[in-house]
Amino acid sequence: MSTIVLSEVRKTFPGGVKAVDGIDLTIESGEFMVLVGPSGCGKTTLLRMIAGLDGVDDGVIRLGDRDITHVEPRERDIAMVFQNYALYPHMSVRENLSYGLRVRKTPKPELEQRVAEVAELLGLHELLDRRPGALSGGQRQRVAMGRAIARRPQVYLMDEPLSNLDAKLRVRVRADLARLHAQLGVTTVYVTHDQVEAMQLGGRAAVMRDGRIQQVGRPQGLYRDPVNLFVASFIGSPSMNLVRGEIDGDAIHFAGHRVQLDEHRRPPAGSPGQVILGIRPEDFEDVHFAPPGLPTIDVPVVLVEDLGPEALAFFALDAERVESETLGVAAAGTDQEAMMADDRRALFSATLDPATSARRGDVCRLTVNPARFHFFSPYDGKSLLGADAERVEAVV
Amino acid sequence: MTATHTRAGRSRLSSLALAFLLLFGGVVFVGPLVVGLAHLSHFPYGVALFNSLVIAISFTALSTVSAAFAGYAFARSRVRWKNILFLFVLSTLMVPWIVTMIPQYVLFYRLHLINTPWPWVLWGIQGTPLQIFLFRQFYATFPRELEDAAAIDGSGRLRIFVDIFVPNSKPVIAIAAVWAFILVWGDYLTQDLFYLIDRNGTLLTRITGLINVDVAGGGLSSLPLALYAIPPVIFFVLVQRYITQTVVTTTGIKG
Q: What is the DSSP letter of B198?
A: -
Predicted local confidence at residue A331, as pLDDT: 39
Q: Is the Cβ–Cβ distance between A86 and B160 less than 8 Å?
A: no
Predicted local confidence at residue A143, as pLDDT: 93
- Lowest-pLDDT range of A205-214, A318-327, B50-59: A318-327
CA distance between the termini of chain B:
50
- Residue A274, CB half-sphere, CA atoms under 13 Å: how many? 5
Query: Nearest Cβ partner of A103 from B146, B148, B153?
Result: B153
At residue A293, what are phi and psi to the nearest 5 degrees?
A: 100, -10
Mean pLDDT of B147-169: 93
Predicted local confidence at residue A144, as pLDDT: 92
SS3 content of chain A, % helix, strand, coil (to 5): 30, 35, 40
Residues 6+ apart with CB under 8 A from B230: none
> Which of A81, A99, A111, A143 is the best residue to mutate to test the B interface, defined by the most B CB atoms within 10 Å of its own CB?
A99
Q: What percent of chain A has pLDDT over 70?
A: 91
Mean pLDDT of A364-370: 92
The C-alpha R_g of chain A, in whole angstroms, comes to 24
Strand order in the sheet with A296-306: A284-286, A363-368, A296-306, A311-320, A345-352
Question: CB distance A88–B146 less than 8 Å?
Answer: yes
The 3-state DSSP class for residue A77 equals coil
Question: For the domain B39-250, what is the CATH code?
Answer: 1.10.3720.10
For chain B, domain boundaries: 1-34, 39-250
Model confidence at A339: pLDDT above 70: no
Q: How far apart are CA A372 and CA A319, in angstroms?
A: 21
Q: What percent of chain B has pLDDT over 90?
A: 39
Torsion angle, CA of A37/A40/A44/A47, rounded to 10 degrees? -80
Mean pLDDT of A284-307: 90
Question: CB distance B152–A104 less than 8 Å?
Answer: no
Sign of CA dihedral A128, A129, A131, A134: negative
Q: Which of A355-359, B160-164, B226-230 has the highest mean pLDDT?
A: B160-164
Confidence of residue A328 (pLDDT cuts 50, 70, 90): very low
In chain B, residues with a C-beta closer than 8 Å to the C-beta of A95 are none
Q: Which of residues 138-167 of B touch A (CB under 8 A)?
A: 143, 145-146, 148-156, 159, 163-164, 167
In chain A, residues with a C-beta closer than 8 Å to the C-beta of B169 are none
Q: Which of residues 135-164 of A touch B (CB under 8 A)?
A: 147, 151
Confidence of residue B251 (pLDDT cuts 50, 70, 90): very low
Confidence of residue A394 (pLDDT cuts 50, 70, 90): very low
Q: Is the Cβ–Cβ distance between A385 and A267 less than 8 Å?
A: yes
SS3 content of chain B, % helix, strand, coil (to 5): 80, 0, 20
Model confidence at A183: pLDDT above 90: no
Q: Which residue has the higher pLDDT, A75 or B43?
A: A75
pLDDT digits (tens, 9 = 90+) for A101-152: 999 999 999 999 999 999 988 888 899 999 998 998 889 988 998 999 998 8
Model confidence at B219: pLDDT above 70: no
Q: Which amino acid is at B26?
A: G
Domains belonging to chain A, first-starting first, are 4-224 (3.40.50.300), 238-376 (no CATH)
Predicted local confidence at residue B122, as pLDDT: 94
Predicted-complex ipTM score:
0.81
pTM: 0.80
Question: CB distance A100–B153 less than 8 Å?
Answer: yes
In chain A, residues with a C-beta closer than 8 Å to the C-beta of B156 are 74
Predicted local confidence at residue A209, as pLDDT: 92
Confidence of residue B41 (pLDDT cuts 50, 70, 90): low
Q: Which residue of A has its CA nearest to B143?
A: A86
